[in-house]
Amino acid sequence: MAELVYDKTGRLLFTKEMKREYTILFPTMLPVHFGLMARIIENEGYRVEMLTTNHRGIVDEGLKYVHNDTCYPALLVIGQLIDAVKSGKYDMHKVALLITQTGGGCRASNYIHLLRKALEKAGLSYVPVISVNMSGLEPNPGFRLGLNTLRKAVFAMMYGDIIVQTSNQVRPYEVNSGETDRVIQAVSDHLLSEMEQGRGLSFKSMVANFDHIVSAFRAIPTAGEPKVRVGVVGEIYIKYSPLGNNNLEQFLLDEGAEPVVPGLTDFIIFKIYNRVVDVDIYGGKWIKKKGCLILQRYVEKCQRAMIAAIERGGFRAPGTFQDLRRLIQGYLGEGNKMGEGWLLTAEMLELIHSGTPNIVCTQPFGCLPNHIVGKGMIRKLKDDYPNSNIVAIDYDPGATKINQENRIKLMLANARGLAKQTRHEAEAPQPAGTAAE
DSSP 204-241: HHHHHHHHHHHHHHHTS-B-SPPPEEEEEEESHHHHH-
Statement to judge: residues 388 and 254 lie in one domain:
yes
Statement to judge: residues 380 and 232 lie in one domain:
yes
Task: Answer whether residue 120 is part of any domain.
Answer: yes
Average pLDDT over residues 51-58: 93
- How far is residue 14's CA from residue 76's CA, in Å, rounded to a whole number? 24
Alpha helices (H) along 316-387: 321-328, 341-353, 368-373, 378-384
**Where residue 81 sits, what CATH number does that domain have?**
3.40.50
Range of the domain at 251: 226-263+320-427
Average pLDDT over residues 382-394: 94
- How far is residue 342's CA from residue 334's CA, in Å, rounded to a whole number? 7
Question: So what's the pLDDT on residue 436?
Answer: 46
Average pLDDT over residues 397-425: 87
Task: Answer whether residue 135 is part of any domain.
Answer: yes
Statement to judge: residues 251 and 370 lie in one domain:
yes
pLDDT digits (tens, 9 = 90+) for 125-151: 999 999 886 666 788 888 888 778 878
| Residue 180, pLDDT above cutoff 60 | yes
Statement to judge: residues 43 and 137 lie in one domain:
yes
| Residue 86, pLDDT above cutoff 70 | yes
Contacts of 233 (CB under 8 A, 6+ apart): 239, 262, 344, 347, 348, 351, 359, 360, 361, 362, 374
Domain boundary among 145, 169, 195: 145
Question: So what's the pLDDT on residue 431?
Answer: 63
Task: Answer whether residue 177 is part of any domain.
Answer: no
Average pLDDT over residues 346-375: 91
| Residue 437, pLDDT above cutoff 60 | no
Statement to judge: residues 240 and 358 lie in one domain:
yes
pTM over 0.75: yes
Lowest pLDDT segment from 197-201, 203-207, 279-283, 320-324: 197-201
Task: Answer whether residue 314 is part of any domain.
Answer: no
Statement to judge: residues 231 and 369 lie in one domain:
yes
Task: Answer whether residue 402 is part of any domain.
Answer: yes
- How far is residue 220's CA from residue 378's CA, in Å, rounded to a whole number? 37
Taking a C-beta distance cutoff of 8 angstroms, is the pair 142, 2 a contact? no
Statement to judge: residues 108 and 230 lie in one domain:
no
Q: Domain tally for the chain?
A: 2
Can you tell me whether residue 12 is helix, strand or coil? strand
Statement to judge: residues 132 and 246 lie in one domain:
no
Largest CA distance in the chain: 87
Question: So what's the pLDDT on residue 290?
Answer: 92
Domain boundary among 145, 164, 181: 145
| Residue 54, pLDDT above cutoff 90 | yes
Domain boundary among 145, 172, 207: 145
Statement to judge: residues 115 and 236 lie in one domain:
no
Average pLDDT over residues 380-393: 95
Bridge partners of residue 43, in order along the sequence: none
Helix (H) / strand (E) containing 59: helix 56-65
Amino acid, res. 99: I
Q: Could you tell me which residue, 154 or 393, shows the higher pLDDT?
A: 393
Taking a C-beta distance cutoff of 8 angstroms, is the pair 116, 96 a contact? no
How far is residue 80 from each of residues 27, 28, 65, 89, measured CA to CA in Å? 7, 10, 11, 13
Task: Answer whether residue 287 is part of any domain.
Answer: no
Task: Answer whether residue 79 is part of any domain.
Answer: yes
- How far is residue 354's CA from residue 345's CA, in Å, rounded to a whole number? 14
- How far is residue 95's CA from residue 364's CA, in Å, rounded to a whole number? 29
Task: Answer whether residue 161 is part of any domain.
Answer: no
Task: Provide the mean pLDDT of the chain.
Answer: 90
Statement to judge: residues 136 and 21 lie in one domain:
yes
